[in-house]
Amino acid sequence: MRLNVLITAASRRVGLVRGFQQALHRPGLTGEVTVCDVNPASPAVHIADRAFEVPYSDDPGYFDAVRAICVRHQIGLVVPTIDDEIPRFAAVRDQFDAIGTRVAASPLDTALACTDKWETCRRLAAAGVAAAATWLPQELPVAPAFPLFVKPRSGRGSVQAFPARDAVELAFFLRYVSAPVVQEFLDGPEFTLDLLCDFDGRPLSVVPRERVVIRAGVIDRGRTVQDARLIDLALACADVFRFAGPVNIQCRMVDGSPKVFEINPRFSGGIPLTIAAGADFPAKLVDLALGRPVTPAIGSFRGDLWMSSFEASLFLEPAQLVLERCVHTEAGKGKP
């Protein structure tokens, strides 16, 4: 059987590209991993089997370009990777279904809710799932308990996220951060819960990982954790939101109980650790896209496996920095 996969905004996601390459070279399978990116110097571009330069995802011609790649290279599965484009892919899923391409993205309602950190925690709390107390600035208690945490209502990568230790800092960060929300300060070990659901929303796998060392919002050193409290929390989130494909749930363990503070319906930066621990999310997604049965394997992974990441470099000639482009045309068609 053959399946070709397209990973969007590939950037530095070398581990994810390699994970899908390995998934497509299991016995009885074949296929290629194509990527697209706005920058031809991105490292994942040079690891993939083929690559295209495309506009930014908010460009009117972006989805025409992506669909053109899918048609030309018979892509059976598209894997969006950044928060901004998940709702956009969800909104045009039927256009990809029409050309025989599955999109590994959650439904639009889920994608929009998880883009909004206030709405995420509001829905979880309303359903009785442990989530960080979260306020819009105008909803803050008159005398809130410090410290607090201020972050953008929609944002990623820990950009513009700050602790506020007193009323003076709170007032400053509420002015400084764009469209902020305020959360209770969760003081405890931080975890990512990697969750994979099938296209009908059924959870297939959950792998909790402790984020021991974090650099620029991405795990640098961490370990897998076999903890029923964390696994149950991920499953509870899947009861509140209908997911499809990969999800990463961010939480902290506070006084022995985990609390969610945000959900990202996409692959996490630490997914190579989850794959190495035996929960092969790319292989399961490939099988789902091919219509093969995938049995839930909740808790089936190697616990206490550590990952210690380091920088690696590619050295490129100028000719390697020229990619075939897919752009928006006047006729509104993408042309590879």
pLDDT tens-digit profile of 55-112? Answer: 999 999 999 999 999 999 999 999 999 999 999 999 999 999 999 999 999 999 999 9
The answer on 149 and 63 residing in a single domain is no
Other Cβ atoms closer than 10 A to 312? 7
The answer on 150 and 59 residing in a single domain is no
122: its two tokens? 């509001």
Q: Strand, helix or coil at 16?
A: helix
Beta bridge partners of 196: 205, 246
Q: How many domains does the chain have?
A: 2
Give the CATH number of the domain where residue 147 resides.
Answer: 3.30.1490
Residue 336 has pLDDT above 80, yes or no: no
Dihedral over alpha carbons 316, 317, 318, 319 (to 10 degrees): -110
* CA distance to 162, 183, 192, 219, 222, per residue, from 214 (Å): 15, 20, 12, 5, 9
pLDDT tens-digit profile of 106-143? Answer: 999 999 999 999 999 999 999 999 999 999 999 999 99
The answer to whether position 253 is within a domain reads no
Place of tokens 């969610």: 260
The answer to whether position 287 is within a domain reads no
The answer to whether position 85 is within a domain reads yes
The answer to whether position 218 is within a domain reads no
User: What pLDDT, on a 0 to 100 scale, did the predictor assign at position 108?
Assistant: 98
Residue 325 has pLDDT above 90, yes or no: no
Residue 328 has pLDDT above 70, yes or no: no
Residues counted in the chain: 336
Q: For residue 219, which of 196, 194, 186, 245 has the smallest C-alpha distance? A: 194
Beta bridge partners of 75: 4
Beta bridge partners of 254: 257
User: What pLDDT, on a 0 to 100 scale, did the predictor assign at position 334?
Assistant: 39
Other Cβ atoms closer than 10 A to 93? 17
User: What pLDDT, on a 0 to 100 scale, did the predictor assign at position 217?
Assistant: 73
User: What pLDDT, on a 0 to 100 scale, did the predictor assign at position 214?
Assistant: 82
* Last-in-domain residue among 122, 150, 184: 184
Are 182 and 137 contacting, i.e. CB atoms less than 8 angstroms apart? Answer: yes
User: What pLDDT, on a 0 to 100 scale, did the predictor assign at position 19?
Assistant: 98
Which residue range is the domain that position 31 belongs to? Answer: 4-105+314-335
User: What pLDDT, on a 0 to 100 scale, did the predictor assign at position 330?
Assistant: 36
Q: What is the DSSP string of 274-325?
A: HHHTT--HHHHHHHHHTT------TT-S-TT-EEE---------GGGG--EE
Q: What are phi and psi of 108, to 5 degrees?
A: -60, -45
334: its two tokens? 């993408």
User: What pLDDT, on a 0 to 100 scale, did the predictor assign at position 331?
Assistant: 33
Percent of all residues in the chain with a pLDDT value above 90, rounded to a whole number: 90
The answer on 17 and 78 residing in a single domain is yes
User: What pLDDT, on a 0 to 100 scale, did the predictor assign at position 157?
Assistant: 61
Give the CATH number of the domain where residue 96 resides.
Answer: 3.40.50.20
Residue 332 has pLDDT above 70, yes or no: no
Residue 6 has pLDDT above 70, yes or no: yes
The answer to whether position 249 is within a domain reads no
The answer to whether position 77 is within a domain reads yes
Instruction: Tell me which amino acid residue 97 is.
Output: D
Other Cβ atoms closer than 10 A to 1? 13
The answer on 138 and 97 residing in a single domain is no
Q: For residue 207, which of 310, 305, 105 has the smallest C-alpha distance? A: 305
pLDDT tens-digit profile of 263-293? Answer: 999 999 999 999 999 999 999 999 999 999 9
The answer to whether position 86 is within a domain reads yes
The predicted model scores a pTM of: 0.93
Q: What are phi and psi of 279, to 5 degrees?
A: -100, 90
pLDDT tens-digit profile of 226-250? Answer: 999 999 999 999 999 999 999 999 9
Q: For residue 204, which of 103, 108, 274 has the smallest C-alpha distance? A: 274
The answer on 147 and 93 residing in a single domain is no
Place of tokens 């794959």: 275
pLDDT tens-digit profile of 176-224? Answer: 999 999 999 999 999 999 999 999 999 999 999 999 988 777 788 999 9
Residue 326 has pLDDT above 80, yes or no: no
The answer on 175 and 100 residing in a single domain is no
The answer on 88 and 23 residing in a single domain is yes
Beta bridge partners of 229: none
The answer on 138 and 99 residing in a single domain is no
The answer on 12 and 99 residing in a single domain is yes
Q: Is 136 left (phi over 0), alpha (psi -120 to 50) or beta?
A: beta
User: What pLDDT, on a 0 to 100 scale, did the predictor assign at position 198?
Assistant: 98
The answer to whether position 226 is within a domain reads no
- Over residues 40-55, the mean pLDDT reads 96
